[in-house]
Structure 1
C-alpha cells in the first residue's frame, strides 16, 4: 500500500512539472499595451497618459482578459483593449471626442 502511494505521488509530481506554465499578461488601461509583468508595465511612460503623451507611467488594467472590451463612457465594444483605447470617444467626460475610450471592468 505504501509503495503504491509513493509511486502515485512521484507520478503526480512528474506530470505536474510537465504541464506548460501559462504566462499571465498585464495590460495598460490607458493605451492597451501588453506586458509580461507589472514591474515592466509601471516602469515605463505611456503614450496615452491622460495629462499628455509620455507625461506619466502606464496604469495597470485590473479587469480580466475578455473576448470583447466595452467602453465605460459610451458602451462601444472592441475585440482588444488596445483597439478600444486607440479610438476617441464621443461621450468622453472632457467633451465629444476630447479623450479616448476607457475600458469598463
Structure 2
C-alpha cells in the first residue's frame, strides 16, 4: 500500500481522495484556508527544499521552517520539498 503526503505540511494518508478533501494547517494562504496539496515525489530518507537546499528527514520537519530563499521573500514562506 502506498502512502501519500501533503507538500505543505507532510501529513500522511493512504487515500488521495480523503486526503485532499481535508484542510491543511500549513497551507500557503494560511492555516486551514486550503486543502492538502499532494506531494508528487517518491518517499525518501531525506527531503530537500527546492528553493535553498536545506534538508530534513521528513516533509513535516522541512516545511515547519521558513525559507531564506523563498520566492515571496526571505522568511516569507516555508521550505518546499523538491521532487
Relative to the length of structure 2, the TM-score reads 0.95
Unaligned 5+ residue runs, structure 2? none
Which is helix-richer, 1 or 2?
A: 1
| Structure 1: gaps of 5 or more residues | 1-22
Ranked by relative contact order (alpha carbons within 8 Å, sequence separation 6 or more), the top structure is: 2
Count of residues in Structure 1 that have an aligned counterpart in Structure 2: 83
Q: Which TM-score applies when normalising by structure 1?
A: 0.76
Deviation larger for 61-70 or 31-40: 31-40
Runs of 4 or more, structure 1, over 4 Å off, are none
Report the secondary structure of 1:43's partner residue: coil
Say which one has the larger Rg. 1
